[in-house]
Structure 1
Amino acid sequence: MLSQTLKYAYFPGCVAQGACRELSLSTKALTKALGIELVELKKAACCGSGTFKEDSQLLEDTVNARNIALAEELNLPLLTHCSTCQGVIGHVDERLKECQKTDPQYIDKVNGLLEKESCSPYRGSTEVKHLLYALVTDYGIEEIQKRVTRKLSGLKCAAFYGCYLLRAQKYMPYDDPFQPQAMENVFRAIGATPIYYRGRTQCCGWPLSSYATSQSFKMAGMHIQDALTSGADCIVTPCPLCHLNLDSRQPEVEKVIGQKLGLPVLHLPQLIALALGVSPQELGLERHIVSTKPVLEKLSL
């Protein structure tokens, strides 16, 4: 048993509050089932998803220093369920902690801008952690396994990590950035079978989608085809932007590649929460573009 209740400053991000509301629903359902307390950072701003630095590195650093400072006010680690948010905010936190040692004048500049907006200063006193790694390293695989009430036996799951989660930061203390195992270990713990395929650690194509749409969809289609060929019943991702390109745009992807796909794409907390006995309705599984019925039928739900 865990010795104390885990508590986090919850950064929901933009996509989970809009196009992928089911991610917000399932994260809250999962953490409730596990007894994890979330304190939502309602004043947090969009991380910028990597675009702010195209105009100004200082802009990206200041916006996200403010997000981190909101968590520091609570003396809590910042938790996100978005690989892109993890990559951006985690990288800013990493950069600023290095600057505290090597370039304190830059920290003063960032905090000066925050002070002008009556915001708390960045102190570098907390950490930024994705839900996946909070579950694996803080909660523990064995503890999750103890709480499984509905083993997902026979369900073949293909992880799609997303590149921001694995390689946006210099240091990855929780997993191997090129040969990760965290999601596959979670799959095994809840009774599902992990499927390994070529695209599991590659980019989904989302960053290209606004200016090279066809190439973006071809990338997504290649990954979905690889997962299907490898025998997957579904793809599971810890990133809502990956989910948008792999699920919401799958009908468009099919037109570009000239092939029917029809592979369900689940958010990571949806999959885990199913194993903990949470109903599909509570997890928003009906909100997906590609029907999740084949997954539910396989689980006799």
Structure 2
Amino acid sequence: MLPVIVVHGGAGHVPKDRADLSSVGVRDAVRAGYAILQAGGSAMDAVVETVTLLENNPVYNAGRGSDLNVKGEVEMDALVMDGRTLASGSVSAVRRVANPVQLARLVMEKTNHLCLTAEGASKFARAMGVPEVPEESLITDYARMRWKKNLQPDANPVECQIGKMGTVGAVAVDKEGNTACATSTGGLINQMEGRVGDTPSVGCGGYADNLIGAVSTTGHGEAIMKVTLSRLILFHMEQGKSPQEASDLALEYMKERVNGLGGVVVVDLKGTWAARFSSLQMVWAAAQQDQLHYGLYHGEDFIEPICV
């Protein structure tokens, strides 16, 4: 059953043309991550490479293509976690970095801290030799159009969320049985300057533990934080629930308790995986035993051979 990698491109609701692009993107990314695992690479290498590819794809709300805050600026969050040691690194409200997930990994590997934020994260990036990119290179015409639309006095924030998938993330188990997760986001449309959601918070935006499994989340960030969704799923798995059962229990609890919708990708140590969501859609893909699984709506699981 090993290795395995599962990827999401965000929970939400998008028109068919953008959903198709998003589905193609996660399939391409999961193939790249799976190739790393098949070659004997680590789960951490696989999830970081996979999320990097999604950050570089303007279809997603992460890296290039990030949503804009109320000032029309890009502020991004990212998290990585290594299930072997529970080592973790994250960045929040970071700017002018093409790949926040790679910066989060540097926080994990090169500092004694778990999270760096805003200008502190930018200073660390410069110290590590991470290139600073023009902010305009991270802003798409689509993101700017939605930002302007949401500035109108009669704007409906719920409607403005339609037409864009959200946070991206990946979980994996490598041939050695090590787990890892990575999650990255551009935040909410027209969010307040300095707002930080669930993504960079350990136990919320993601969690990996070699004793249980790994989770990456997407959806209503404040709701995910209130129930510590990633760790809640792993708690249910500790009690003997499968990844699917644990995900459904936790998502239902979040919906009932705090009226929050979202989605998750999950793996356990045996290679059993799940992609579950309470939102209308969540684009996802998984690779295992040389098969590619993918879907967008509830109950979908298209399967095709994977060539790496």
User: Structure 2-normalised TM-score?
Assistant: 0.32
More strand by share: 2
More helix by share: 1
Structure with larger Rg? 1
Q: Which has the higher contact order (CA 8 A, sep 6+)?
A: 2
User: Structure 1-normalised TM-score?
Assistant: 0.33
